[in-house]
Each structure stands twice: as C-alpha cells, then as structure tokens.
Structure 1
Amino acid sequence: MEICRFICVRSNQGLFPWGHVNRKLNASCRRWIQTKLPDKSLGDHHNFPKHVHKSDDLSLIRNIGIMAHIDAGKTTTTERMLFYSGFTRHLGDVDDGDTVMDYMEQERARGITITSAAITFTWKHHKINLIDTPGHVDFTFEVERSLRAIDGAVTILDASAGVEAQTLTVWRQADRYDVPRIIYLNKMDKPGASLDLCLMSIMEKLKVTPLLLQLPVGSEKHFQGIIDLVTMETCIWSKGNMGDGTEFKLSPIVQSADSSVWEKCIKARTSLIGQLADMDDGIADLVLKDVAVENIPVSDLLSALKRVTLARKGVPVLLGSSLKNKGVQHLLDGVNHYLPCPSDRHYPFAELYGEDLCALAFKITHEKQRGALIFLRLYSGSLKTGSSIYNVTRKTSEKVTRLLQVYADMHKDINHIHAGNIVCVTGLKQTVTGDLLTSSHTSYKKAVESYGKQNIDNLPGRSAESSSHDDQGDEEHEDNHFFSAQLTVPDPVFFCSIEPPSMAFQKDLDIALENLQREDNSLHVSVDKDTGQTILAGMGELHMEVIKERILKEYGIEVEMGPLQVAYKETITESSEVTERLDKTLGDRHHFVSMTLSVHPNQTGQDFKAVELRHSRENNLEAIRHHHLQAVNSGIKMGLCAGPILSFPVCGLGVYLHSLEIQPGTSMAMISACASQAVHKAVHSAAAVLLEPTMHLEITTDEDYLHFVMSDLAQRRSHIQGVEAREQVRVVKAITPLSEMMGYSTVLRSITSGTAFFSMELAQYEVMSLSEQNKVLQKLTGFLPS
C-alpha cells in the first residue's frame, strides 16, 4: 500500500503515465488507487468524454463496425481512433493486454477479440458509435448481429495478404444486410505489403470495384505517409512526440515542385475520376464539360464518393499502418465523409412507426450488479429512463430501469436517447437478441395498419410457412412475428458434455448456461434424453474453451467437459411415403388424425422449412386451416430433430403432404405427434446417410515447409484447391473434414517450426463414404455396424 500511495502522489504530479502504471498493479492495488483518485481510470486510461455530440442532427452521427480477418489490425486501429479523438490518453497495445476494446480477461490473455465491443467518441463534430468485432471464425455470430445495428462498416485488410478467408465471410455477411463499406489497407509498413496485390484480390475475391483514394509514400519499412488523391496533398508523419502519430506535415502537390510526383498523382486521379464518371452522373457531367482533372472541386469528389459508396457501386480504399500510427486520422475523415448517417439508410420497417419508438435488441451481456444489459439500436423515436416499452416479438410489455451510454466495459448513466443511436438498457427480463421493441402495443397496431393487410407478406421476419396459408381466423397469429433481426445463426459444429464438480453446483451451472446462451445465440444447450447429461454445442474448439473459462471466472464453477465431438447431420438418399394414423381417447375427448406424408432428397442441403401440399381430386387440402398446418409443420420439425443413424438432425429433404384427415375436437398436440411419427418412419425407410462438416482451410507457410504441409493434408482427407505464391510465402487452400482438424494448430506448429498459420471456415456438409461412416459409428457407439 505504501507503493500505491507513492504512485498516487507521483501521478497527481504528472510524473507517472497511467498506461505504464496499469500493467504493474494487481487488482487490489487498482481498486485502492481508484478510491483515492476517482477521476482516474486505471483500467482503461480514459475519462468519459464530456464533448460527445448531443444534438438531434442525424447527419452528424455515424454507426460503424470494424470487421476483418483475424490479426488484420481491427483492435489496434480502434485504439488509435480513440487516442486521436481524445477519448484515451494512452495508445493501447494488443500484445501488452491494455486495450480499451478487448477488456475481457480471455481476450487480453490470447490477444484476440472474442466479443464485439461498442464505444462512443467524437471526431470533428461527428458522434461515432463504433463496434469492434471479432475476426476469428468461432465468433462469427458476433459479427452477424453487429451488422444489424450499424449503418456502415470499415473492412480492414492486411496489406501483405490482401483478402483472406475470414474477410470473405464477413464481407458476405455485410452483403446480406446491404451495409455500405470502405476498405482500409493496414500494415503498409509490413514486409511484403503490396498495393497492387490488395487491389487485385479485392476485385477478384470480393467482386467489387476498389476506388483508390490514396497512394503510399515509401514502401514496406520505409512507408512514411500517403498522397491524398482527393485533396491532392501529401501527408508525412514525423517521429516527434514519441512517434504517436499526432504530428504530421501536409503539403499541397504542385507541378513545379516535383514533376514525377505530379504526373504520378495526376495519372492516379484521372483513373479515379474515370471510375467515378461511370458510376455517378455529377462527376460524369464535369468530365463532359472538359473540366481538368486537377480542377475538379474536392467537395464534388467527396459528394460523389459518398453517393457511390451508399449505392454500393464502388468501395473507397484508404492506406495506413495503425501500429506505426500512420493514416488513422485520414481513415476517421473517411468515416465522416463516405459512410452513411442514420438518415441515409432506408429501413422500411422503422418507417412504419413514424415518430414512435422502433428499436432492435442486437446484443446481450450479463453483469453481477446490473443483471442483463441489452444493447439497442434506435431506428426511430426516443427512449427515456423508466419508460415502458412493448416487445413486438415476444408480445409482452417491459420497463426500462436505466439507460447507459456504452464505453467498452464501462457505462455512463443517461436520461434520454434519440433515434439513430446505440444505447444499453437494463430491466428487460424477457428480451433476447433479435427482438424488436416499440413504445406500446398501440404503436405496433398503428404500424400494422399503416402498412396495410394486403402487403403483410412482404414484411421482414415473415416466414414462408406462415405467409402461405393464412386465414381470417388466425389474425392474432398474423400479428405475432412481423419483425425480427432475421439473424443467420450458424449451426454448431462441435459438441460435448458438461458437468458441475458436484450436484450442489448444478443449479448455478444451469443459470450460467442460461445466461451464456442468452448472450450467444450460436451456443446451444440441451439435455440428452437417454443419459440426462447436459450437452453443450458451439462453433469450434476455441469457442468451447472460452465458454469453459468464462464459467470459471464469472460464475466460479469449475466444470468438467467431455471430449469434443463433431456435430454430424443426417440426410436421405431415396424417397419414401408413409400413412400414419393416431386414434386415441383421453378422458372424455376423442382425438383422431390420419395423414399421408412423403419425403424426398433435396439437393440444397438446407434444413426443413415448411411442408408442401400436394393437391389432388381425392384430397381436400385446400380446406386445411392455418393452425392445423402449423401443428403439422411443428410435428415434422420435431421428427427431424433425431435421425435414424446416430440421432443427429436430419436435413436436405423435402416433405410433401398428400392427405390429412382430422376429427373435430382433436388437439394441436395430437396433430403434431402424428406428423412427427409419420416423418420419423418415412426417414427410417429412405436410406439415411451421415453428413460431415467440411472446412475451407487456408494455410500460409514458408516454401521450405510446403512439402510437409501438403503431406500432412493428404493424410487428413483434404481436397487441395490450389497453392498461391505470395511474395516469400505460399498459401495453400483446401477443403478438409472438420473431424480431421482436431488439434491441428499444434501439429502445424510442429511440422513448420512455428512459422506457419492457418484459418478456416465452414464450407458445407458432405455425404460420408460408407467406410468413414462405419468408423464414426464404431467410435460413437462402440459397435461395428452389421
């Protein structure tokens, strides 16, 4: 404690930089100093900003996300943004574990982002709500739900690698939500950094037109700055002020100063304007009027670039080196200039609510003191502390107890928030990720009426099965799920059993798993009906490892996890038709159902959505009531949850309903039970086979170790798709069964002396050969198939 008192005195005298102090203190010392210095924040080196823009001007708000492949520099770039905006006084470093955005203990220990973190800061009078997302494939759902809350995104590329595997994944996710993007080529100082390589990979892999707005000054370790083709200025960063990037020199490019630089810039600017002329009428008019390339106004270029970006006709490309503190200020300018404000994006469902509240719950976390923290994106209206709101998805009313402005893992109480912002609320007990919230049930009814019943099938979140067979008697059901986040939740690929150290901890474990599952939709918890074991299913080895650590750190339960197993699926190879009859009397009520179903292989491999009706003169399927059809669909889904081989889910099939007879008074549960039995029997007689998950694998290795890598892949049933030469390294692309990738990181380090690294993402489920299927059966059941 004497040391702590000394630090307090010295810090007040300005003799200790907080970033260096932070890493020298344990938790108890930090808490003690915090009580003595309430205006200091040792954990994150920042105070809450007092200059955050509070006006209702939506044009000055940016809701953005940072997304990229793992190790491309997302968190490092975000830390520089916070520093240059004045939010922090210390440049956080991922390697040192003192970043603001990676605040979880597991993140700082591993040096990776695990959960998306939100923060608010200002840059040149603009309020920026930023979400830093993970790059690891195991946590891709964090990117998915963050994309529903943002208006624009910054995609970061490693300048020495170009577009990598996970970059493609997050890019496709952003495409699903029509998110406008800009690209930031990071690590321009890295050996092997190539502007041409990156531009080529953007065109070939992302299938978009890159609009190069900057040229590098120097290359690789000699990278000094950038040439801005929009403003025709050179920006060179100095090494003064400890090299934190705050000092740089801007110089206008003039022909008389350096003719070679002038010609290079004019050539690049001409190419840029030519691209814009093909995409934007405003620039095309200037070109047709023969306005000289160097005389086209900066304001016209900025406006045209924003229009092109919002229309997703092209993607602005900026350069920099975040670790070396170069280019981030211009990236922030690009966020303000080119990415949309909330009013630039078109959200049809929000427009139905007019001035009433319309908000989307896109993320949930839990804290011991505050309970569940619900992250909301407000599309319209406003929200106040103590407000009562209506959950459209859950059809229930709840009350907001507190409004919190989010600063990574820290929060500041506020009283009011308006449309276009991101906020955290407490007090909502039933709301989960993807729920839509409004002011009241009356507001929701008004939104429905404003759209009109004739267009109800076009509303977001409307499922195919519910829109195909509506009737007037089911109006309440029609009003149930108009809107949802429509998040694509990936199927788990690994599962294992999880047990508490003793039965005394079972209830605490159930609570922990319930909270974690509410936070993370990609985490699945179930109970095996045969053994009674709790089964945990997730997206990968790292995902499951992090969940185990969180249960220990946050809930104090040292759980035991069984060996990881691959989550297979099952499908059918033949068609089959069955007739099932259920005739029972329970009490004084008689239940009778008879139906004929058939199952057929479906080449799409997708999960079952809804039964298809096969009309004929003999049946009367057109008279089926909507709630009866819903019961049939529900029963079929239950029947497909467990296949005949190893009780894995059944997919890749279509189900046809040929006849249905229901006696009046029969309950919906009996109809579902009959449908479940029918489809179960049909699948049993349709020659079922196992499907295994396969992964897109990308390995980067030195050429000296390429032979060892290829030999190892051959033993793992890999299909080599190609080997690319990238400067001094080789990139191997392959499709490999997930079951062969268990512990692969350790093997790869061993055979390449720790010089190679890899990334992978789910490719598809493929039919297993009979021999491999028999191996799985023997492994999981202990018996050889007959």
Structure 2
Amino acid sequence: MQNIRNIAVLAHVDAGKTTITENLLFLGGATRKMGSVDTGSAITDSLQVEKERGISVRSACTSFIWENTQINLIDTPGHVDFSAEVERVLRVLDAAILVVSAVEGVQAHTHTLYEALCERGIPVLIFINKIDRPGADVLQVFKDLQKELKTPVFALQTCSDEASNEAIIQHLWTNETNELGDDLKELSLEVLANTDEEVLEKYLEGDVLDPSYCLSKAQNLCKQSKLNPVLLGVAKNGLGMPELLDAIVNYFPEVSIESESEPSALVFKIEHDKTLGRLAHIRMFAGSLKNRDSIRNVVANRDEKVSLIRKIYTNKHIDIGALEAGDIGLVSGMPEVQVGDILGSKNGVPENTTLQIPLLIVGIKSKNEADYAKLAEALQELSSEDPLLQFEWFKKDREMNLHIMGTIQMEILEMLLYSRFGVEVSFDEPTVVYKETPARETEAYIRYTMPKPCWAVARFKIEPGVRGSGVTYKSIVGVNDVLQKYQNEIKRTIPKALEQGIKGWEVTDIKITLIEGEDHEMHSRPGDFMIATPMGLMKGLLEADTNLLEPILKFKISAPEEFLGKIAGELNQMRAVFANPEFDDGKFHLEGEVPAATSMDFNIRLSSLTGGKGKVKFGFSCYQDCPGGEEKQREYKGVNPLDESQWILHARGAFKTNEWRL
C-alpha cells in the first residue's frame, strides 16, 4: 500500500490558500492547467457562488500523487462564517498547511485555526505567502508567529528582494544567506534548542551545529507535532510550490494504517447528486469498505448499505470499488446518512472540535409565493449538508428559520439557493439567539388520561441550574410505578420539549427530576409519556417563570496605543467588561467579554476607528443573564403544549403545524 497524507489548507480569508491548492494540484499532475480564483476556474471552488464571489464556502477534497505518496488534499473556507466546514474537516486530518500573508501576518481567524489544530495535536506546516507584495515583512511575521500564536516555528527558507516582484527564495540551511537568513536561522536554532535537550546542550556549549543535523532533528520533531516548519513563497507565481510539496512528504508523518482491524469510518461531509442522491465523504480510520458492503451506523443505530465507492480526482469521480484504512473517499447508497455519523467501530475516530457556534437566527422566505414548498425542500437539503443551519419549518405560521454565523453567510445562501435550486429569497433582520432558564424552583403535575386509550401521569421538580450546566435529568420513581420503557420515553423527549420555552427560546441550565409517576397496565401505550412530558414541563416553566440569557463573546484586541481611549469608549457603550490593557512596542492588548448583541459589527467599527490598524479576535464564552430592558422575547412557534387539547391532537397526528412533530 502506498503512503498517504490526509492534509488540509487552512487560512484566514484572502491569504491565498485556494491558489496554493491549485498549484499543488497542477504540480501533482492532477490538472493540465492551473485554475485561478480570479477567473473562476479554480478546481476546488466548483460551486457557482464560489466562482462568482471568489471565496471558498465549502470544503473540497481531491487526490493526487507526489513522490510515490498519495496526497488527499482538502481546501477549506477561510471566512469565519463558514467555520462549520473547517470543524468537520479537522476530524479527518493527519496534518495541515496554515497559510499566513507576509503583509497582514497573523490575523484573527489564524488564532482560532491554530488553536484548534494544537488541541488535536495535528502537525502544522506554516506557509508565509505573498512575500512579493509591498509591505511584506517575513521576519516580523516569523516573530509574530512565535509571539502571538506561541508556536515553535523553524524556518526552512529565507528570501531576498522581498516586497518586490523580484522576490526569490533560498534554502536556509545549505546556502550562504543574507541578513534576513541569518536572523531566521538564529531564531530557529533557539526554538530547536528549546524543543530538544540534545540540541540545547550543544547550543549552550557553543558547538557549531551542522545544518544536516539541525534539519534531521527538525524533521523528526515536526512529525511529532512539536515543531512547525515554515516555508515562503508567492502562490500566484508558483514560487515555493515544489518545495512545499516536498515538505508535505518529508515533514508530515505517514498515516497509521490498521487494515486488519474492524472497519471504522467517519462521515465528514454530505453533498447531493442528481443521479446518485446523497453522497457521503468518509475517512477510513481502520479496516476496509467495499462496494455492496453492509456496515453499522453506530450513531443512527441502523445498518447502512454501500452502493458505490469513489475517489475524487480534480472533480472527477472515479469508481475504486474499495476504500482502505487511512484513505478518504466518496460513498453512495446511504440515503439517510448524516454529517458526523460513524460507520463501524468508534475506536480511533476523533471527537468533534467546535470553532464557532451560530449565534444568530434569521427568518427566510421565497420572493415568489409559489416557491414556498420548493424553498422548504431546498433548505432541508442544505441543512443535511450543514447541520448547524438547524432549519426550522413552522407550517402554521408559514415561517422558516435558519441559524447562521454572520451576514456573509446570508449573502452566500441567497446566491446558492438561486443558482442551485432556482429560488429567489429574502431574509428578515437577523437576531441574536437567546436562551431561557427557570427563575425559581417549582413542581409541575401532568395527568394525561383522556381521550382514551392513554395513561401517563407525572410530577416533575424543576430547578434552576448553574450557568453552563445545560439540561440535567434524573428519576427517583421506581419501575413499579412507571415502567422503565416509559421512563426512557420521558428522558428521550426532554431535549425536544425544551427547544422552546415560555418566551420562545431554548431552555437551558435546568435541573429536572421525575419525583412521581403512574402508568396503567391496560391504558398506557407507547408514546403516551412522550405526549405528556412537554405539557408537564411547559406548565412548570410557566409557574416558575424564566429569565432570558444572552450569548457572551470573549475578545482580544490589539491596536496602536493612541486609539485606546476611543476603543475603550466604544466597548463601554457595548456593555463590555475588560481587564487593564497591556502595552508592547507601541501597541496595546486588551482582553474581555462583550454581549454578542452589541458587537455584531464591531470588526467594521474597529477598522474605521484605527484606519485598519486594529485587530480583534472573538470567541464564544458563555450565556449570562440578560439585563432588564435588553430582553428579546418571541412567540412560541408551532403548537404550544400549554394548549393541551391542540397539543394532544397534534402529537397524535390529527394535524401538523411543523415538520418536527414528536
């Protein structure tokens, strides 16, 4: 079996990662002509909306061979609004190329991506792109990588005539170097010495370290994810691209192959084909999978039947018949498979990493009323490809909602729905996703015994939970009072029942205890406690009342010192809480927390305040109590369990007002 590298190209938006991907595909013989983002011919930007906007919005995987190594290369979106695509890709990677602009340097999303890669222990190669652009400063970016990302970086190359069209790159360790090269070499040796005890001993004793010795040590440490190699180049001109491919083979570890083990695979992406239907992109972690195999979906608890297995070579699907451990492929024949499903054994499949969560909800409608059903069908398909959209459809109100990361995602969705499905849409004004929590302790009693046949009696104790605790449930009722199968119904129903509280938002930070209950030997039927539980919980929430919680973001701001006063004033108006600033090299660094509702456009305001010299990084922190006067309630959507007669008719199937009936 040939060597395999499963890698992704990651970057803050506009750092040039898709251009790098196109270069690698061309050099690897996967394409006869290099695609271009500017002309809309990039192979990995295959969607019409990607060609028109010149940005990646979906991850794209393709394969090629370099130096007897199969490289499965995944191009990823760079904009933070499409972080969900990156999250899913991180679970299948063996290594990553992190692209940084030689001009803009370390940016907000660079931090997020690098932290996620470190959390997983994924080896990272850093590529400093655009060294020819005016303002390029390789040494400063190298220092910023050390300082801001706290990353152990080791330069493999230097350059001359940076910030000009004459820029060229040189091997740092085998040639006479210029002043930049001497600085990069000295910084790299310090990092290498701090990472390896043997090198440290030689370094402190003043020994002259042989370049081949340093490179050998660095290569080994890079494969262990203890050191990050740094390369330079200009992707648009192909400068540094062959060296980058060689480094992928030489500085990234080989995939661990467990071909004789029980099959284990992860579904990391879903797409739809007009002929084959739902297609699942999977990574085999162990064993193998063949055409017409049956395999257990351990997440959905059902068997899946594989029809065809393919690989993607420059957007061409090639039938391969089987997929071996360590490889990535495309599988058809599983019409209900979902992103995140695990096929076969769970052993060796990484847990999910969360980069961002959607904190906005937005209403969406078709401009042409005749496209109402068509839009719903399209949104169901898109939601299966991106589960974080969390599509909600309330038929009674003819209302559809999506959860989104930001306004750029709305623009892309609008274009995607038109180009792919032929539906023109409009959006309501997005609002922050609030949550609610019980205001005080109470008990709720529900007796569902009419109309026969039915019997479900329950008493719940409802208590506020500590912030961040989510939903906790326990039962102190014996199986002699409520059979275990009915108690299981209650437990399964609670998450669904809490999707909307009395103020229209998801309920969290709540402790629920079943303290009394009763079933009936003759009248109790499967589903009775599923109908009763939402009615009981909503009665309890109405009695307890609820407090609204708002999402809070943590932030880090860096900007020149002279802007501190203006920025602090802005933050105070936004209800932000922050620590004393730290000062360094004419800049200040400020950390704190701010409500999401007041900071949605702060990136733009900061850029305007500082003339583009300020940087801010946001990340989700928590949900906190919403101050009085800032609350945003909304109407309950669908049939409210407080309307018990209507709820019972709805739950029994007499009518439906949304697609998510119990």
- TM-score (ref. length: structure 2): 0.81
Distance 2:70 2:242 in 1: 15
Shift in Å at residue 551 of structure 1? 1.5
Deviation at 1:725, TM superposition (A): 9.2
Aligned match of 2:642: none
User: How far apart, in 2, do the equivalents of 1:121 and 1:336 lie?
Assistant: 13
Identical amino acids, percent of aligned pairs: 27
Q: Is the 8 A contact 2:576 2:593 kept in 1?
A: yes
Match of 2:209 in 1: 293
Show the counterpart of 1:330: 243
Per the TM alignment, residue 649 of structure 1 is displaced from its structure 2 partner at its CA by 0.7
1:671 aligns with 2:577: no
Q: State the partner residue of 2:256.
A: 343
Task: Please list, as runs of the form range in 1=range in 2, the aligned pairs for 1:84-233 lying within 5 A after superposition.
Answer: 84-195=27-138, 197-221=140-164, 224-229=167-172, 232-233=173-174
User: In the alignment, which residue of structure 1 is the partner of 2:462?
Assistant: 598
* Structure 2 residue 524 is the aligned partner of structure 1 residue 611: no
Displacement, 1:151? Answer: 1.3
Per-residue deviation, residues 308-331 of structure 1 (Å, max 9, x unmatched): 32xxx3333333333353333322
Q: 1:342 to 1:517 in 2, by over 3 A?
A: same
Name the amino acid aligned to 1:337: N
Maintained 8 Å contact 2:264/2:347: no
The equivalences for 1:323-472 within 5 A come to 323-343=236-256, 354-407=260-313, 409-438=315-344
**Residues 673 and 730 of structure 1: is their aligned pair in 2 closer, same or farther, counting only changes over 3 Å?**
same
Query: Whole-Å Cα distance in 2 between the matches of residues 126 and 271 of structure 1?
Result: 32
Whichever residue aligns with residue 119 of structure 1, its letter is: T
CA distance in 1, matches of 2:400, 2:223: 52
| Greater RCO, CA 8 A, separation 6+ | 2
What secondary structure does 1:78 align onto?
A: helix
CA contact (8 A) 1:524 1:537 kept: yes
Residue 549 of structure 1: aligned partner? 415
Query: Aligned partners of 1:716, 1:226: CA distance in 2, in Å?
Result: 46
Shift of 1:364: 0.9
Q: Secondary structure at the match of 1:642?
A: coil
Could you say if the C-alpha distance between residues 503 and 161 of structure 1 is closer, same or farther in structure 2, counting changes exceeding 3 Å? closer
Q: Which amino acid aligns with 1:691?
A: L
Q: Secondary structure at the match of 1:374?
A: strand
What RMSD in Å do the two structures reach over aligned CA positions?
A: 4.3
Residues 731 and 621 from structure 1, CA distance in 2 versus in 1: closer, same or farther, beyond 3 angstroms? same
Distance 1:703 1:187, change over 3 A: farther
d(CA) in 1 for partners of 2:211, 2:240? 25
Aligned residue for 1:515?
A: 381
Q: Provide the rounded CA distance (Å) in 1 between the counterparts of 2:303 and 2:157.
A: 51
Q: Measured at CA, do residues 264 and 485 of structure 1 come closer, stay the same or move farther in structure 2, by a change above 3 Å? A: closer
Question: Is 2:449 aligned against 1:584?
Answer: yes
Alignment match of 1:691 (pick from 549, 557, 560): 549
- CA positional deviation for 1:519: 0.8
* SS of corresponding position for 1:143: helix
Over 3 Å counting, the alpha-carbon distance change for 1:686 and 1:156 in structure 2 is farther
Alpha-carbon deviation of 1:360?
A: 1.7
User: Are 1:318 and 2:231 matched, yes or no?
Assistant: yes
CA distance in 2, matches of 1:405, 1:118: 9
Q: Is the 8 A contact 1:434 1:487 kept in 2?
A: no
C-alpha displacement at 1:155, in angstroms? 1.6
Encode CA deviations 1:666-703: one digit per residue, 9 max, x unaligned. Answer: 44533344443444344344453223334456789899
Q: Which residue of 2 aligns with 1:46?
A: none
C-alpha distance in structure 1 between counterparts of 2:51 and 2:581, whole Å: 34
Unaligned stretches of 5+ residues in structure 1: 1-55, 235-252, 345-350, 439-446, 448-458, 462-482, 782-786
In the alignment, the residues of structure 1 paired with residue 447 and residue 20 of structure 2 have an alpha-carbon distance, to the nearest angstrom, of 63
Q: Distance in 1 between matches of 2:321 and 2:622?
A: 48
Q: State how far apart, in whole Å, the 1-side matches of 2:607 and 2:186 are.
A: 45
Is the 8 Å Cα contact of residues 41 and 51 (structure 2) preserved in structure 1? Answer: yes
Counterpart AA for 2:194: Q
C-alpha change, 1:577 and 1:202, in structure 2 (3 Å) is farther
1:323 alignment partner, SS class? helix
Residue 772 of structure 1: SS of its match in structure 2? Answer: coil
Structure 1 residues 639 and 732, CA, compared in 2 at 3 Å: closer, same or farther? same
Q: CA deviation at 1:530?
A: 5.6
CA contact under 8 A between 1:360 and 1:485: conserved in structure 2? Answer: no
How many residues are aligned here?
A: 635
Residue 166 to residue 263, structure 1, CA distance change in 2 (3 Å)? closer
Task: Indicate the SS of the match to 1:182.
Answer: strand
Equivalent-residue separation in structure 2 for 1:143 and 1:570 (angstroms): 30
Give the equivalent residue in structure 2 for 1:25.
none
More helix by share: 1
- The one-letter code matched in structure 1 to 2:341 is D
How far does residue 516 in structure 1 lie from its aligned partner after superposition? Answer: 0.7
Does the 8 Å contact 2:9/2:17 carry over to 1?
yes
The one of 305, 325, 340 equivalent to 2:221 is 305
Matched, 1:649 2:565: no
The answer to whether the 8 Å contact 1:211/1:275 transfers is no
